[in-house]
Amino acid sequence: MDIQQFYDEGLAHASYAILSEGKVALIDPGRNPQQYYDFAEANSAQIVAVIETHPHADFVSSHLEFHKNEGATIYVSKLVGAEYPHKGFDEGDSFFLGNVTLHSIQTPGHSPDSISILLKDENGKDHALFSGDTLFIGDVGRPDLREKAGNMTAQREELARMMYHTVQNKLKPLSDDVLVFPAHGAGSLCGKNLSDARQSTIGEQRATNWAFSDLDEKTFMDSLLQGQPYIPKYFGYDVDMNKKGAPSYQRSISQVSIWPEGATLPAGALVIDTRKQNQFVKGHIPGAINIMNGGKFETWLGSIVGPEEKFFLVADSTPELEVLIYKAAKIGYEQLIHGAVVNPAGMTETGTSFDVEAFKANPDAYTIVDIRSRDEHATAPIFEEALNIPLQELRERASEIPTGKPVLVHCAGGYRSAAGSSIIAGVLRDTEVLDFSEAIKDVQTVAH
């Protein structure tokens, strides 16, 4: 038996291949199927099963593709109401994979239809738990994503209560030596205090994970519901797509319209310009949003752009454009790209450089906008008088910003403020908008 973890840094998503006697089962595979095919081929094995622990909100899975191409059986809880060919896989259900067995455990809490997968070795001993978004290393899954999406919706309080009973009745009874393989790590928006470790044991979680503490139901629920991160615009869209089954990855990628370099884009189109901020400032299409190609590009794309919107994707080279289309496809957004283009015509708008010394000399001359999260703003204030509008809300709320002074935008390190300042500049057309950018790192104390 061999367990292989595949980790997507951009989405902090972990998927798994279990190999036994020439047969492979995949758990929560990502959108691009190639790495799983490569693993099977390298081991002269066949992908015979795909297990979905729940309909994921933060990425699109390739489960249907493996069924169509390999004849793999898709196992998923019957509660999902999956619209693709599948086999119900619920409490008490199991199947053999070579000389090991995979068992379904009903573990609601993150979603009402969540299952975890218990792997038993050839001797029938509990060996590993593939916990999906139920149990993370250091935390459990957030309970507030299924109030408006999926076949089964549930209120966050109801799911928090379910999670309490899942921990008490399904997770705590497992042996200390059972390995834990979650679907996400630090940086995921599916929980709030995830470790950057990639695997653990039940014993380690029993000793270190707050959810395993001796808490009563109400205290557990209150702790779980407090301080959860924002919900990106794309989450409900991905739940629905995963419930239906996504289109073939390569075919869908190939259908993205690539426009000729230097092409003129339609007036008023939504443009996502992915170039570095210094390039963007030198010249961009008026109203373009500067989401730089970086480690969290796909998350911010799906947080700023809604799934009902079409957009143009701009980059400064063809290879870069290809990478960005692949990243968009991870969340199913390749279908929203109206056109992808290298250095289109009309990049006439320029930005204004920020003079840090001028700001230090007279900080009251600026309207400061902090686009970090509410928690960041509250727990680590930088400027007491700053107006806090989180980046994911800016397109809807930029008009709330007073325009009597130049607007100065900051985040924690410069990546988000590039997007934020571009959004504000597009809304407040007659106001000077400045970006604190990376200079914010040098501000150590709260001003005034």
pLDDT tens digit sequence for 235-286: 999 999 999 999 999 999 999 999 999 999 999 999 999 999 999 999 999 9
Look at 400 and 351; give whichever has higher pLDDT.
400
Q: Quick one: pLDDT at residue 182? A: 98
Q: Quick one: pLDDT at residue 446? A: 42
Percent of the chain with pLDDT over 70: 97
**DSSP string over 16-38:** EEEEETTEEEEES--S--HHHHH
- 397 pLDDT exceeds 50? yes
Q: Quick one: pLDDT at residue 148? A: 67
Q: Quick one: pLDDT at residue 435? A: 94
Q: What is the arithmetic mean of pLDDT over 379-406?
A: 95
Contacts of 330 (CB under 8 A, 6+ apart): 8, 10, 11, 30, 31, 32, 59, 60, 298
367, 406 contact by CB (below 8 A): yes
- Split at pLDDT 50, 70, 90, the class of 448 is very low
Q: What is the DSSP letter of 168?
A: I
Q: Quick one: pLDDT at residue 153? A: 62
C-alpha neighbours within 13 Å on the C-beta side of residue 119 = 27
pLDDT per position as a tens digit, 158-206: 999 999 999 999 999 999 999 999 999 988 887 777 888 899 999 999 9
Q: What is the arithmetic mean of pLDDT over 69-82?
A: 97
- Split at pLDDT 50, 70, 90, the class of 151 is low
Q: Quick one: pLDDT at residue 192? A: 77
238 token code pair: 């991905």
Q: Is 193 exposed, middle or buried (0-12, 13-18, 19+ CB in 10 A)?
A: middle
247 token code pair: 């289109």
Q: What is the arithmetic mean of pLDDT over 314-321?
A: 97
- Split at pLDDT 50, 70, 90, the class of 44 is very high
Q: Quick one: pLDDT at residue 445? A: 45
Provide the 10 A C-beta neighbour count for residue 361. Answer: 9
Measured distance CA(299)–CA(330) in Å, rounded: 10
Measured distance CA(16)–CA(30) in Å, rounded: 10
Q: What is the arithmetic mean of pLDDT over 47-76?
A: 97
**DSSP string over 388-416:** E--GGGHHHHGGGS--SS-EEEE-SSSHH
Residue type, 87: K
342, 313 contact by CB (below 8 A): no
β partners of residue 101: 96, 120
Q: What is the DSSP letter of 59?
A: S
215, 40 contact by CB (below 8 A): no
